[in-house]
Structure 1
């Protein structure tokens, strides 16, 4: 990367839960004065707030392939934090980075967001698997079929990295928890909530009873949203040091996890919280029907196993500070916030 000029950064998904935390981390980076950040956003009313903190906001979405290509071709580093399964969007970004390489004879960097949903099985909540993936065990990851979630996009990213015109790094967050409390949330720009746990909470509110997929025995890794922000900056720091500082391309997988939980325990805590708030019939979760799984959870994702060890990530200096105890402590407060928000929305509708 050039040392005398600003590092040009392009980020997608910057108003989302993950992307907003990444962008906020970049804005608070000690080197932020040396960054020139462009963010692709979908809402025009967020342009001014982002401009106020020095971010050039461009109106568009992952469907605007020409914009993706154009802005990627103008970037030294791209953070892809939008849809992890959008193959057309990642191809547009890679096309832009290839143009960047051809025009400047430099090798730009892509830091792409995938997820440990890549590893899911069909447990339906009925058992825990013994299979644990390490981000240092590349053959084990490469043995995954292309039909796994995120896999088709990940393969496209890896292939581009192996071709040499871009250095690629793939970050795979696990169950992210915690309400984001960044400068961008304060500005009203960033979504402060994750999806997995809030979806369980919203389902419980709607069906007036906390629910669980199957027996709730399946296991997932977890990571606090603040630790995810530092994972991205850790990978970014290593990438900026040069190609030998951290694995990239075929070896560029970084799991985002610092703990493991039985998924059914989350359902139990949600059910207990809703019961205490008189929004559930019992403190014990009841099993979601097949119809409810589709309606509320979009499939049996919550019943799957996904077990990982974030060994490569920690080798490059990532130091997550939140453990699984933080996960347990976050669920009731988030339930209360979601209930309060829904009540406020209903109150507004009645006026």
Structure 2
């Protein structure tokens, strides 16, 4: 008799992170032992996922909480790679996992996506902080205020772990960069672009000058898209092979970082790329006005988010064997090629 397959439910398959994680699961050495199900809105993408990639697909939205609950209940492992701030969706997934634990008696595994936005302050680009978080420092992680960005969802997940019906792990990516590549992205299933840097690029292109929040002095970590996707796989493998040595709950926070940058460095690189492409004559960024923050980022608060500090070290992920390869220097080099692609896309829509 063949061994039972590991049933995996993944959210966010058509997104940037979720697509990169799903792609790595499909390329995993043990992929033949996985039974992967995803939830997507788009029926056309669902067909491609099923026919070309052999993934089971349920068409629906994260507002259909009964579907989320049922899909989570039927999974050994849940990769939640969609909206980090959707508390109802997270609670539905946890309800499903609780039902599974009560019915089957096993301990289902959750790998949830949060973000280092949880560590931010209100610097507005005016200063750098000396506070650096380590994901191995549990007391420091516990000290993050409950009002912090993403924190309400993370706390609900930690509570579920403490209640003993799920083994919860939370990955907190930082500034993710790079145009994602590979079969899922080439097939048009998953979004190849991040959010933070592309928004700064698009805003800068529109105003014909690189933009910045304040003086750009605040500092964030950064991580390459396929490096952070590999963190999910390293964590998953560690959970499957060495569960007692793999931290969960309060010991289950895993930062995704491989270096850090100031916001000025990003905006200056945007400015230099614009000069090289003949789009402006001065590489030096100028501050976004309040109106521009709203125009380019949706709200003034979200705009100012690009002037916050968020400093951390991915010590826990490295302790279980994660070895990110790409650095802050690679991040800065990625800005010009991303600008070229985004500019073409904007022109094709115009």
Aligned counterparts of 2:265 and 2:217: Cα–Cα separation in 1: 9
Aligned with residue 312 of structure 2, among 308, 323, 343: 308
Aligned counterparts of 1:242 and 1:54: Cα–Cα separation in 2: 28
Structure 1 runs not aligned, ≥5 long = 347-351
Q: Aligned residues, how many?
A: 344
Preserved CA contact (<8 Å) 1:167 1:243: no
Aligned counterparts of 2:118 and 2:4: Cα–Cα separation in 1: 38
- The offset of 1:277, in angstroms, is 2.4
1:197-236 CA deviation, whole Å, 9 max, x = no partner? Answer: 0000000111121101000111000000110111000110
Aligned counterparts of 1:194 and 1:37: Cα–Cα separation in 2: 24
SS at structure 2 position matched to 1:170: strand
TM-score normalised to structure 2 length: 0.96
1:32 has 2:31 as partner: yes
- The offset of 1:60, in angstroms, is 1.2
Aligned counterparts of 1:5 and 1:70: Cα–Cα separation in 2: 20
Aligned counterparts of 1:250 and 1:262: Cα–Cα separation in 2: 29
Aligned residue for 1:336? 340
Aligned counterparts of 1:67 and 1:277: Cα–Cα separation in 2: 48
Aligned residue for 2:182? 182
Aligned counterparts of 1:340 and 1:317: Cα–Cα separation in 2: 39
- The offset of 1:261, in angstroms, is 0.6
Aligned counterparts of 1:41 and 1:265: Cα–Cα separation in 2: 36
Aligned residue for 1:239? 239
Aligned counterparts of 1:189 and 1:133: Cα–Cα separation in 2: 35
Give structure 1 regions of 4+ aligned residues with deviation exceeding 2 angstroms. 275-282
Aligned residue for 1:349? none
Structure 2 runs not aligned, ≥5 long = none
1:326 has 2:333 as partner: no
TM-score normalised to structure 1 length: 0.96
- The offset of 1:242, in angstroms, is 4.8
- The offset of 1:43, in angstroms, is 0.7
Aligned residue for 2:142? 142
- The offset of 1:239, in angstroms, is 1.2
Taking only aligned residues, the RMSD between alpha carbons, in angstroms, comes to 1.1
Aligned residue for 1:262? 262
Aligned residue for 1:112? 112
- The offset of 1:280, in angstroms, is 2.9
